[in-house]
Chains A and B, each alone.
Chain A
Amino acid sequence: MYALPAAPPPAPRRQLVVGVSLACAAGATLMGGMLALFLRFRQATLAVPDSEWKPAASKVPEVATNIMLISFAVIFVMVQWSVYAARRGHKSYVALSLGLTALFSLAIINGQAFTYTQMRLPIRTGTYETMFYALTGTFLALMVIGMIFTLVVAFRHLGGRDGDREIVTAHAIFWYFMGAVYTALWFVIYVTK
């Protein structure tokens, strides 16, 4: 047994922030890989003259998809507000901002469901349809994870663990990542189609 010099308690290493950042990096390659295959098939399809990638009969409800993008901008403000308020010990503002984050994330999920009903794409008919549902379905799964994360942070804060500011920061990082994911989806699937 060796006697090494003891050190003072280590400074917090922001474990949750690092962990969530790594998870976001993994999520980025998940969605990036799927989008790359989507683009590859789109390019191959469009290279054939007179071919159709997105069924012409299916219209993208652009208002809903744009509102979803704008909702992410609102979520960015909310999560940053929660970080700001948590640093200053404003418990009620943290709760309010997290609540609004949950509300807007619910609105985005609702927007995606609305998009499904408006586009009326039968999943069994072709490449575009299966890839569309796989991509947006994975995005929805990540949204649900984000909502659960928001609720966990909110309950921890309301439950009195308001000194734990790191989780609020990690939560904000996750939503920035989700915003980036949706921006990529929005551009590739809903704008350039």
Chain B
Amino acid sequence: MTTIDPHVAGHGASAVASERTGDRRGVLTSVADWITSTDHKKIGRLFVGTSLLVLLAVAAIGALLGAERIDATSDFIDAGALPQLFSAYRVLLTFGVVVPLGLGLAISVVPLQLGARSLAFPRLAMAGFWGWLVGAILVIVSIAANGGPGGGNSNMVDLFLAAHVLVVAGLVAAAGALATTVLTTRAPGMNMRRVPLFSWSALVYAIGLLLALPVLAGTLILLYVDHRYARTTFGGNTGLSGWAGFAFTQPATVLYAVPVFGLLLETVATATRKRLPMRGIGLTGIGLVGTAFLAGVAQVEASLPRNILDMSFGTAVQDIIPYLLLNGLPLLGAVVTLLVFLRAAAGRPRVLSPMVFSFFGAGMVLVGLLGNAVYRVGDAQLAGTVFEEGAWIYVCYGTVLAAMGGVVYWGPKLWGRVITDVKALPLALLGVLATILASLPYYVAGFAKQPANATQFDYSGPQNLWNILATVGHGLMLLTVLAFIGLAVTSFRKGEFAGDDPWDGQTLEWATSSPAPFSNFAEVHTVASAEPLLDLKPSRTEGNA
């Protein structure tokens, strides 16, 4: 009995050729198919591909802003455009890249991992993609027309707010489809403890988004009505960042990095060819990272006030508990997950490029989390400095890095060809170097009191150096993404055909053909463990069972 019906759709090499050439179909039919498709793999690829393209623009903006800060006296960017660029940078990297990238990867892979034939509510997910895309384009248009936070064109500020609601609505729709998929379409025998680690992280991520993003949408609606009709409450165009900014700053942004940790444990288990040790603790760790949604729901950035040690115990506890809850729990989750990774890695894993990508990505996110924990301590006196920007870039670029690993890992299931380790590994190294250069200098500059979102400053120390390094980092990230897109396109067009199980995987997606056909599986399987494919490879199940 096979798990795949070759008649469901083309598979293997023929499917790849068919998809690429629009076999027996016109171009218009192919385009219409992509626009209206209910195939979760296509929806996910649309999210991933588009957000990688947006990332090119965002990295360029980051490099521009870094360059503007190299010489505090230079003004090659118009002073009036600076607030727009800073807001475009925040909004687009967060909601134009990081969130849709994670969602897209999860949408394309999770149903395969669960043994499901399709995504729950695929039309809703597709509508979510188009809502997000149209909203993101309108956000860019409004910011370009002087309409972002602090913008001078009133109508464009209104457009920015309305478009931002559309972006959020699209992401929430896609997250709803994803969460419902994990909760309702698992293969028989796959209880929640047997859900693959990446799918678990996708569930935590999707539910977190479902709970946190509507709060942002509600705030944006209030901001829109106030800005359009009265401008009495939220400070008009200059108050937008202050009121909606909680969604673009840590600890709320940590939620957007949750899938990174699922991918990390998923790839290390594959690399070791053994069952993941301490799997339950790994699931718990991922769940703890997901508690970052609390910061989005509560709209707070819990900080410890200065001189907290001099306060009475009762007063201090009132600040310490929210601080630990919102900043400490996600950090604890990340540490726990990395410890599980290290425990698994003790089993001498193969060096697979997806694991390297996700390890570097998770490491960067952890450094960002640590930075956020320090930033929120009042006695560190970092408030209002670029330190927070450094932590935010660590989390965002770390997530991007891991997502690239995800594309390399599941590429065979999505388009039937492999991206070889030899070509991908240097990009992982370049990406981690880019992330460190783009963010670490801001940590140092933050301690030197370089102000956030400002280009005019004067502080002791080599301020030019820090900003040159950050600019180079953004430039390198731009290069990394360009190279990665080139690599993926080359693989898609003429890469080596992948086998059904190129990584010697453990979860259900590797039981179907590469690329996976429209309905994923011809038959519903029964699974008896968290690693159903490993059960079929008895010679490799001895360690850590």
Interface residue ranges, A against B (CB under 8 Å): 1-10, 13-15, 18-19, 22-23, 25-27, 29-34, 36-37, 41, 123-127, 129-131, 133-134, 137-138
Contacts and interface: CB of A to CB of B under 8 A. Distances in A.
A125 B230 contact: yes
B214 A3 contact: no
A32 B299 CA distance: 12
The binding surface of chain B is classed by DSSP as helix
Given A6-B523, A22-B176, A126 B3 contact: no
B187 to A, nearest CB: 7
Contacts of B219: 33-34, 37
Interface residues of B, number: 55
B527 A26 contact: no
Interface string B217-234: 111011011100110110
A4 B527 CA distance: 8
B180 A19 contact: yes
Given A3-B2, A124-B229, 7 more contacts: A4-B532, A7-B525, A19-B121, A19-B176, A27-B214, A126-B232, A130-B233
B221 A10 contact: no
B448 interface: no
B39 interface: no
A124 B3 contact: no
B217 A131 contact: no
B229 A130 contact: yes
A126 B229 CA distance: 9
A99 to B, nearest CB: 27
Contacts of A15: 120-121, 180, 184-185
30 contacts: A1-B500, A1-B512, A3-B1, A3-B3, A4-B526, A4-B532, A7-B524, A7-B526, A9-B524, A15-B180, A19-B121, A19-B124, A23-B176, A26-B213, A29-B215, A30-B217, A30-B218, A31-B218, A33-B214, A33-B216, A33-B218, A33-B299, A34-B219, A34-B221, A37-B218, A124-B229, A127-B233, A130-B232, A131-B222, A134-B224
A3 B536 CA distance: 8
Nearest to A129: B230
Nearest to B168: A30
A3 B523 CA distance: 10
Contacts of A31: 218
The binding surface of chain A is classed by DSSP as helix
A9 B180 CA distance: 19
B253 interface: no
B59 interface: no
Nearest to A138: B221
A29 B179 CA distance: 16
B57 interface: no
Contacts of B2: 1, 3
Nearest to A15: B184
A18 B189 contact: no
A22 B180 contact: yes
A129 B526 CA distance: 58
B146 interface: no
Contacts of B172: 26
B536 A4 contact: yes
Contacts of B230: 123-127, 129-130
Contacts of B211: 25-26, 29
B17 interface: no
Nearest to B508: A4
B210 interface: yes
B425 interface: no
B486 interface: no
A10 B188 CA distance: 7
A142 to B, nearest CB: 11
Interface-central residue, A15, A22, A124, by most chain B CB under 10 Å: A22
Given A19-B176, A22-B176, A26-B172, A1 B218 contact: no
Contacts of A32: 215, 218
B513 interface: yes
A61 B429 CA distance: 66
A4 B532 CA distance: 8
B91 to A, nearest CB: 19
A111 to B, nearest CB: 21
Contacts of B511: 1-2, 4
Contacts of A130: 222, 225-226, 229-230, 232-233
Interface in B164-179: 172, 176-177, 179
B184 A14 contact: yes
B183 interface: yes
A4 B511 CA distance: 8
Interface-central residue, B189, B210, B508, B532, by most chain A CB under 10 Å: B210
A99 B213 CA distance: 34
B204 to A, nearest CB: 13
Interface in B211-259: 211-219, 221-222, 224-226, 229-230, 232-233
A34 B510 CA distance: 45
Contacts of A8: 188, 524
A2 B523 CA distance: 12
A8 B524 CA distance: 7
Contact of B222 (A4, A6, A10, A134): A134
